[in-house]
Amino acid sequence: MRNAPQRLGALPWLRLTNVHNTSSKEADETATVTAVADAELVASHAMQIHFDATFTFSWNDRNHVLRICVESLDTEVYHGTFALCQGQLVHDAHVHFPFFHLPAPVMDAKLEQALAQITDAIVGHDSLRSTLLALPDARADDLWTVLRVAPGLFGTFPNVTIVGMHEEENGDVIVVVVDVAVFSWMRLCVRATLVFTYDDGTRTVDVSTRSCTWGTFKASVHVRTSDDHRCLVSFGACFVPVLPLSYVFSTATLDFTPQLERELLRAADVKRTKAHAFLDAFEPLVLQPLLHSASMATALRFKDVATHLERMMRHTCTGGKSYRALLLRTTVSVLGGAVGERLLHGVGWALEAMQAAALVWDDIMDHSETRRGKPCWYRVVGNAHAINDGVMLYSIAYRLLEHHLRDRPRTLQKALRETVDTVMQSCLGQHIDVVSENDMDVVSEERYGAIVQCKTAMYTFYHPLALAILLCDREGESELLQNASVLTVTLGRLFQEADDYLDLYGDPARTGKGVGTDVKDGKLTWMIAHALANADAAQAEELRVLYGSDGGVARVSEIFDALGIQEEYERRQRTMRNTCLRDACVLLKPIVHIVIAELTRRQA
């Protein structure tokens, strides 16, 4: 026991350095000698683990007691007491060895109980037992969309980095290979190659490890619809670690509740992950620097000017969904970019300021009354002030980009170029949108497509994706930007056509708008373009007269139904989803899955 450091240091997998002794006295006046040593542990070759720790040995020679404490990163990993009592060695120890700390979801009681059932079985090696999950409230298509995003989700965890990801052709199935590195608080780095094999025809995904320093993992999920229209999922998984243990995860019945769906989307960082931290950054990263800016001091020394600026910023920039900022964060996370929180928040708020400017002007043009549950800004301060404030918001967006990217001049130059192009395209799209209102002579699918491509596709999808790609500064940047420009045209149309459809057929309690607002305003939508192209002479004449009037919503809806608009909507949405997934490169495909999953949730 007295030679414990030397004995432990002689082990091939443990190296002790900087051993030094101190002495003290216990309360009973017995002397205690303490040796402290820095250690590097190299576990078995098969596991390939390294971590640094501090060993503390304390001997009480009078009572023949040895205490050993092992700490790593200021956290106690092991505390043991060895005592000689009547010739017998008595050992008592506490071990705390949590390798992985993943974000814990907020669970309700039902979900927590269901997940607790997952770890109820331990069986022999290489077992894979399948359990049937009955999900009566789910649609198989929706669940399969969520499962298709699985490879990219690993990159959303703070301690996981996607080192590489690519697809391999294998007959009728899609094979996605993901190389990940997992870092824990003990400076461990676990490398693994995960293989996801997707069969879209049978809705089956098999997951396995091609290489892993900890062991092997296998899982299989099969999604199908029963005869009574319930969503059925066959699920089984098995982990065989280097140690002789195998855990099989199993559960009985799990209801696919809205809460569970929210948690699945939350893992993708689409909706609320890090949202509070982003909102909290508004004051220190956006508002206060503006109010104390030296270049604006001449104007801001007047209290009424400073008060107006602060009031305008709070009214126009907050209260929304921050979708573009969250898409920026999600893309950076999936691409594995080493981007700090402050930079992400700063660029995210630049996107939100640009969006706020566009909404201020859009509300004036559309004579809107409310925005984000508040009166539109022009109704608070008047048209003249609101127009000027919109220009100010655009200037603030550029200022934020310049400030937060000042240490990355190359990225700043590219980001400003993308931003200028986005603004120009959006203005052109807005012009086409405005001049097309209540003009049945210019209605066409081609004109509608130009509006969507210039407006929704650019500032809702392409701009956040482009800035995220630039922030990551990874190899193949040009190819990623080119692929993003292609994908976002279809994503923009997928989003806007759903928005048009929900305006007439959605639940007002969920959309926050009245039924048929676009019809009353004479907006150019895909539905009126499709209807006029397929209507007979009588129907077309009715549409020309009624579209754009307050009293025409019901009859327009009837004509749309007769022309099969609802069936056409389902067909178009399905086609565009498949087009996006087909055209996405392997690095951006997880983003497409995440966006589609979010749009599906939004439209439900």
The per-residue pLDDT for range 451-471, each reduced to its tens digit, is 999 999 998 999 999 999 999
Distance (Å, rounded) from C-alpha 481 to C-alpha 466?
6
pLDDT at position 376: 92
**Nearest in space to 461 (alpha carbons), one of 433, 432, 483:** 483
Instruction: Please give the pLDDT value at position 411.
Output: 94
The more confidently predicted of residues 106 and 550 is 550
Q: Is 116 exposed, middle or buried (0-12, 13-18, 19+ CB in 10 A)?
A: exposed
Does pLDDT of 28 surpass 80?
no
pLDDT winner (highest mean) among 63-77, 372-386, 497-511: 372-386
> What's residue 368's pLDDT?
83
pLDDT value of residue 276 = 66
The long-range contacts involving 21-30, CB below 8 angstroms and separated by at least 24 positions, are: 26/60, 30/60, 30/61, 30/62, 30/63
370 vs 302: CA distance, rounded Å: 30
For residue 202, how many other CB atoms are within 10 A of its CB? 12
Tokens of 224: 């199908």
* Residue 425: how many other CB atoms lie within 10 Å: 18
pLDDT level of residue 81 (50, 70, 90 thresholds): confident
User: According to the model, what pLDDT value does residue 537 have?
Assistant: 93
Choosing among 1.10.10.2120, 1.10.150.20, 1.10.600.10, 1.10.10.10, the CATH entry for 405-604 is: 1.10.600.10
The string of pLDDT tens digits covering residues 559-569 is 999 999 999 99
Mean pLDDT, rounded, for 539-543: 93
Hey, is 281 helix, strand or coil? coil
Region of poorest pLDDT, from 64-68, 126-130, 152-156, 346-350: 126-130
At residue 586, the pLDDT reads: 74
- Name the residue type at position 572: R
pLDDT over 60 at 529, yes or no: yes
Is residue 150's pLDDT more than 60?
Answer: yes
Query: Contact, 306 vs 290, CB < 8 A?
Result: no
Q: Pick the residue with more confidence: 534 or 115?
A: 534
Look at residue 130 and tell me whether its pLDDT is greater than 60.
Answer: no
pLDDT at 493 exceeding the cut of 60: yes
Most confident of 84-88, 514-518, 523-527, 579-583: 523-527
pLDDT of residue 51: 53
Q: Which CATH class is domain 109-265?
A: alpha beta
Q: What is the mean pLDDT of residues 83-93?
A: 61
Q: Is the model's pLDDT at 169 over the cut of 80? A: no
What gap in Å lies between CA 540 and CA 15, rounded to an integer? 85
Return the residue matching tokens 């209260």: 319
pLDDT band for 76, please (50, 70, 90 cuts): low
Domain range annotation of the chain: 4-95, 109-265, 268-404, 405-604
pLDDT for residue 245? 27
pLDDT at 90 > cutoff 90: no
For the ranges 134-143, 309-318, 390-399, the lowest mean pLDDT is seen at 134-143
232: confidence class by pLDDT, cuts 50, 70, 90: confident
Q: Which pLDDT band, with edges at 50, 70 and 90, does 25 fall under?
A: low
Instruction: Domain 268-404: give its CATH code.
Output: 1.10.600.10
Q: Is the pLDDT reported for residue 319 higher than 70?
A: yes
pLDDT tens string 93-127: 555 544 333 233 333 444 344 334 333 322 233 34
For residues 522 and 545, give the distance between their C-alpha atoms in angstroms, rounded to a whole number. 11
State the Cα–Cα distance between residues 226 and 266, nearest whole angstrom. 28
How large is the C-alpha radius of gyration of the chain? 30
Strands 204-212 and 215-225: antiparallel
- pLDDT category of residue 281 using cuts at 50, 70 and 90: confident
Report the alpha-carbon angle 402-406-412, nearest 5: 60
pLDDT, residue 250, reads: 25
Mean pLDDT of the chain: 76
Six-digit token string for 558: 């009837």
Best-predicted range by mean pLDDT (204-213, 519-528, 580-589): 519-528
Which among 317, 322, 319, 318 is positioned nearest to 271, based on CA atoms? 322
Residue with the larger pLDDT of the pair 507 and 395:
395
pLDDT at 262: 43
> Are the beta carbons of 49 and 34 closer than 8 angstroms?
no
* Average pLDDT for 529-544: 93
Helix (H, G, I), strand (E, B) or coil at 485: helix
Residue 535's pLDDT band (cuts 50, 70, 90): very high
The Cα 100–Cα 79 span in angstroms is: 20
Considering only residues 37 and 369, tell me which one the structure prediction assigns the higher pLDDT: 369
Task: Provide the 8-state DSSP code for 251.
Answer: -
pLDDT of residue 592: 83
pLDDT above 70 coverage of the chain, percent: 68
> CATH topology of 268-404 equal to that of 405-604?
yes
What is the reported pLDDT for 425? Answer: 94
